């Protein structure tokens, strides 16, 4: 048992380290992040002499219009001193809104016979004055800004350029808070933190403190996800109405709203007009044919809608529409913004996740599971299940995925709750779990494989106690099976009504970038696809945000989107699942069986996603959360071994096998916590990648520059 002195020592050390973290954050802010100020202190700055390229036409307001693309879209700056920094500025910057201009730097030194250009695009937005500070390096007195406008007629919102300005000293409160937060997290997750000496208890005086902590943790995670949803994902105002997409297709972000409207009027199809051009196509599923029709003015043609029998349908799961969109439209008389539903299911997922972790700890690791490990695993689950990516783009693609994640986690928790009393099953909790799991068929059908976890989960009740599939357990059996029938029958009938096949969910009739009615992905691409989804290395860059997404390459054609790296590289702490055989030491083999089956389901879902849809970052959620199941079990086992070795101190007199096990556990523990903090940093930085879909540099440049300017020193 840990003495009061040991507890006091842990708390004192935590307090000291947190104070040190605050001091370190202050030093970093003043010294490192403000290095440009110290380097330019004393600079006066002078107006630049600017030579305007022939493809630019100066305007009366000092900006420039692009008149042609003949290779002369540049602004040339000359100075009588070496240029270390440039300051771009714009008069009346507010009138340019979120407009952003990109350019390359091209320099010429005294000994150079020509210009040498960089290969990284630099961005400037008038709405963010600090984005105008451009590091050149002090090696030349002639600098060209090779502008990268998109179209002839674009306006270049630059009116003034200053050479060698003094970069202002700035205390960035967001940066300070982030550094302190990350350092505090590292302090709390260290092996000797008091959180790891605080055991989860089922009852007792300290239970209320545990629930307060878990409630606070849940709220903190919800707040972080909400911030990403609100600011990065533009959750309050984004993804509404109609935009133009690939090949001139019409993207209607209110697809779920149209589905709800159709359900309210008793229609299985969507009340969206079908253009004559689409209805007359011999093969409307051929993207090239549709592109040509749109180019000929035979639109609009809607992107990522199912098209069958001359009608538009939604191939996305219908249950979110029934549960959320339809009631809202009944009450308010208007469509519910899709982003709010993504947020709702994300919040439910976080709550269900933490309830599930506590239940797992009490079911199989009673007396050994700590609050610290539960906290770490909760954060790991949020990162490992790709929630940040879904919250970054909370559109109709994310609705069924987040709904299924919420239903799956809630269902597993309810099933475990049903087993709380050994030798008994609560029919009510069994029914709730089955209902939630069954709903996956009407959200993201791939998630229905989670139902297989019921076999090892209820194996004892099936085989030894005969509480299921027996006369004695008829109530529990009915509670387990009836919800599946109640959900499956209407959904299959709905499919039959729409497509004449109960097993046709509509994805094969999707109007997308390939002919979904014909298999286009070769089985030879499956192995490389598994590599890309799991093990593709991160692509590092030397500038903020220090990572970029890359399009996977295949021998034959595969629909693919830019990927940031394999999920095991983005969330490397999930490699702890490789220690799955540690679970053989548990008296109850249920965690081991659940872990193996979860891994098998994850690989099956990965293969199905890849063969049906190719490579996409948003697909990670379908299978990544299943990798977290063995990770949770393994780390709770490691937690018990690590804390035992911490409490016992030296291992003298202990058998060599126990010594080796303790050493492996301590090493695994430290690696897991380090990789967890690293993954958090990486995934936060990936929110700002410029070549991802819906990148912030395009959608929210002001937010992008708030964070990119934090790294001006680099």
Lowest-pLDDT range, 13-22, 236-245, 320-329, 458-467? 458-467
Q: Is 138 left (phi over 0), alpha (psi -120 to 50) or beta?
A: left
The Cα–Cα gap between 378 and 372 comes to: 10
Judge contact between 67 and 56, C-beta under 8 A: yes
Q: How far is CA 228 from CA 135, 179, 471, 686, in A?
A: 29, 17, 51, 12
| Terminal alpha carbon distance of the chain | 49
389: pLDDT strictly greater than 70: yes
Residue 248's pLDDT is: 93
665: pLDDT strictly greater than 90: no
Percentage of the residues of the chain whose pLDDT score is greater than 70? 95
Q: Span 19-38, mean pLDDT?
A: 92
Judge contact between 630 and 577, C-beta under 8 A: yes
Categorize the per-residue pLDDT at 650 as very low, low, confident or very high, splitting at 50, 70 and 90: very low
The Cα–Cα gap between 461 and 473 comes to: 9
User: What is the SS3 assignment for 170?
Assistant: coil
Residue 331's pLDDT is: 95
Q: How far is CA 412 from CA 45, 139, 419, 422, in A?
A: 64, 62, 11, 17
Contacts of 156 (CB under 8 A, 6+ apart): 56, 63, 64, 65, 66, 75, 101, 147, 149
The Cα–Cα gap between 351 and 524 comes to: 41
Residue 645's pLDDT is: 60
367: pLDDT strictly greater than 50: yes
Categorize the per-residue pLDDT at 205 as very low, low, confident or very high, splitting at 50, 70 and 90: low
Q: Span 613-636, mean pLDDT?
A: 96
- For residues 644 and 419, which has the higher predicted lDDT (pLDDT)? 419
Q: What is the pLDDT of residues 250-266, one digit of tens each?
A: 999 999 999 999 999 99
619: pLDDT strictly greater than 60: yes
222: pLDDT strictly greater than 80: yes
Average model confidence (pLDDT) across the chain: 91
Q: Span 292-315, mean pLDDT?
A: 94
Work out whether the CA dihedral 621, 627, 630, 634 comes out positive or negative: negative
Helix (H) or strand (E) holding 417: helix 398-418
Domains, the chain, ranges and CATH?
A: 46-169 (2.60.120.260), 189-235+337-707 (no CATH), 245-332 (no CATH)
DSSP E strand boundaries for 437-560: 539-540, 547-548, 550-551
The CB-side HSE value for 655 (13 A sphere, CA atoms) comes to 3
The Cα–Cα gap between 635 and 376 comes to: 10
User: What is the SS3 assignment for 650?
Assistant: coil
Judge contact between 485 and 478, C-beta under 8 A: no
DSSP 575-632: GGGGGGGGGGGSSS-HHHHHHHHHHHHHHHHHHHHHHHH-B-GGGHHHHHHHHHHHHH
The Cα–Cα gap between 517 and 306 comes to: 11
Nearest to 660 by CA among 641, 634, 673: 641
Q: Span 65-79, mean pLDDT?
A: 93
651: pLDDT strictly greater than 80: no
Torsion angle, CA of 664/669/675/681, rounded to 10 degrees?
-170
The Cα–Cα gap between 517 and 508 comes to: 5
Residue 647's pLDDT is: 54
Percentage of the residues of the chain whose pLDDT score is greater than 90? 67
The Cα–Cα gap between 379 and 504 comes to: 37
The Cα–Cα gap between 459 and 456 comes to: 5
The Cα–Cα gap between 495 and 492 comes to: 5
DSSP 181-200: HHHHHHHHTSTT-GGGTSB-
494: pLDDT strictly greater than 80: yes
Q: What is the pLDDT of residues 336-350, one digit of tens each?
A: 999 999 999 999 999
Strand 142-147 relative to strand 74-78, pairing = antiparallel
Range among 294-303, 360-369, 397-406 with highest mean pLDDT value:
397-406
Q: What is the pLDDT of residues 535-550, one digit of tens each?
A: 999 999 988 999 999 9
Residue 686's pLDDT is: 96
31: pLDDT strictly greater than 70: yes
Q: At what angle do helices 371-384 and 656-686 cross, to 10 degrees?
A: 40
Categorize the per-residue pLDDT at 580 as very low, low, confident or very high, splitting at 50, 70 and 90: very high
Judge contact between 535 and 569, C-beta under 8 A: yes
Q: Span 348-366, mean pLDDT?
A: 96
Q: What is the pLDDT of residues 138-186, one digit of tens each?
A: 778 999 999 999 899 999 999 999 999 999 998 988 889 999 999 999 9
Residue 422's pLDDT is: 82
Q: What is the pLDDT of residues 678-701, one digit of tens each?
A: 999 999 999 999 989 889 998 888
DSSP E strand boundaries for 59-112: 64-66, 74-78, 85-89, 101-108
Beta bridge partners of 297: none
Residue 273's pLDDT is: 93
Residue 708's pLDDT is: 87
pTM over 0.85: yes
């Amino acid at each position: 048992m840990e003495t009061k002195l040991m507890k006091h020592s842990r708390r004192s050390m935590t307090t000291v380290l947190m104070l040190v973290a605050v001091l370190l954050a202050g030093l970093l802010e003043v010294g490192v992040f403000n290095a440009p100020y110290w380097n330019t202190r004393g600079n006066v700055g002078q107006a630049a002499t600017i030579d305007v390229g022939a493809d630019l036409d100066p305007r009366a307001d000092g900006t420039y219009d692009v008149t042609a693309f003949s290779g002369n879209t540049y602004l040339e700056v000359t100075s009588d001193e070496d240029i270390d920094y440039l300051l771009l500025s714009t008069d009346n910057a507010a009138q340019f809104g979120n407009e952003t201009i990109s350019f390359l730097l091209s320099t010429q030194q005294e000994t150079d016979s020509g210009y040498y250009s960089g290969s990284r695009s630099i961005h400037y937005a008038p709405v963010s004055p600090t984005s105008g500070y451009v590091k050149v390096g002090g090696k030349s007195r002639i600098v060209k800004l090779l502008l990268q406008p998109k179209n002839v007629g674009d306006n270049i919102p630059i009116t003034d350029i200053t050479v060698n300005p003094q970069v202002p000293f700035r205390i960035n409160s967001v940066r300070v808070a982030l550094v302190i937060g990350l350092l505090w997290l590292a302090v709390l997750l260290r092996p000797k933190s008091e959180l790891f000496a605080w055991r989860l208890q089922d009852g007792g005086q300290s239970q209320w403190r545990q629930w307060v902590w878990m409630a606070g943790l849940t709220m903190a995670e919800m707040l972080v996800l909400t911030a990403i949803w609100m600011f990065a994902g533009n959750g309050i105002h984004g993804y509404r109405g109609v935009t133009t997409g690939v090949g001139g297709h019409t993207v209607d972000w209110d697809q779920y709203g149209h589905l709800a409207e159709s359900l309210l009027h008793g229609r299985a199809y969507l009340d969206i007009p079908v253009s004559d051009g689409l209805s007359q196509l011999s093969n409307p599923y051929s993207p090239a044919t549709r592109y040509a029709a749109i180019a000929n003015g035979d639109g609009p043609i809607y992107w990522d809608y199912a098209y069958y029998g001359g009608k538009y349908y939604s191939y996305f799961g219908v249950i979110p529409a029934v549960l959320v969109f339809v009631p809202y439209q009944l009450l308010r008389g208007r469509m519910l913004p899709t982003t709010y539903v993504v947020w709702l299911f994300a919040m439910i997922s976080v709550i269900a996740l933490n309830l599930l972790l506590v239940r797992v700890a009490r079911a199989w690791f009673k007396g050994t599971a700590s609050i610290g490990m539960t906290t770490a695993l909760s954060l790991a689950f949020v990162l490992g299940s790709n929630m940040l990516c879904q919250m970054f783009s909370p559109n109709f693609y994310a609705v069924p995925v987040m709904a299924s994640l919420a239903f799956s986690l809630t269902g597993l928790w309810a099933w475990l709750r049903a087993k709380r009393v050994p030798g008994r099953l609560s029919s009510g909790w069994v029914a709730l779990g089955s209902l939630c799991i069954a709903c996956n068929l009407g959200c993201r059908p791939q998630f229905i494989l989670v139902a297989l976890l019921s076999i090892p989960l209820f194996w004892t009740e099936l085989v030894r106690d005969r509480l299921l599939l027996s006369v004695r357990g008829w109530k529990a059996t009915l509670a387990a099976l009836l919800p599946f029938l109640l959900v499956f029958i209407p959904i299959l009938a709905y499919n039959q009504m729409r497509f004449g096949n109960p097993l046709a969910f509509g994805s094969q009739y999707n109007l997308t970038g390939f002919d979904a009615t014909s298999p286009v992905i070769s089985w030879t691409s499956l192995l490389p696809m598994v590599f890309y989804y799991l093990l593709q290395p991160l692509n590092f860059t030397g500038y903020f945000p220090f990572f970029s997404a890359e399009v996977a390459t295949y021998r034959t054609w595969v629909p693919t989107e830019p990927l940031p790296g394999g999920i095991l590289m983005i969330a490397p702490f999930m490699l702890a699942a490789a220690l799955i055989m540690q679970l053989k030491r548990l008296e109850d083999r249920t965690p081991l069986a659940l872990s193996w089956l979860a891994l098998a389901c994850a690989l099956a879902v990965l293969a199905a996603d890849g063969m049906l849809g190719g490579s996409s970052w948003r697909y990670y959620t379908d299978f990544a959360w299943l990798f977290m199941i063995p990770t949770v079990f393994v780390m709770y086992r490691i937690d018990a071994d690590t804390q035992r070795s911490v409490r016992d101190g030296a291992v003298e007199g202990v058998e060599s096998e126990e010594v080796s096990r303790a050493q492996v556990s301590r090493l695994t523990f430290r690696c897991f916590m380090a990789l967890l903090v690293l993954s958090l940093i990486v995934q936060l930085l990936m929110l700002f990648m410029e070549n991802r879909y819906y990148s912030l540099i395009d959608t929210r440049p002001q937010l992008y520059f708030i964070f990119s300017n934090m790294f001006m020193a680099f």
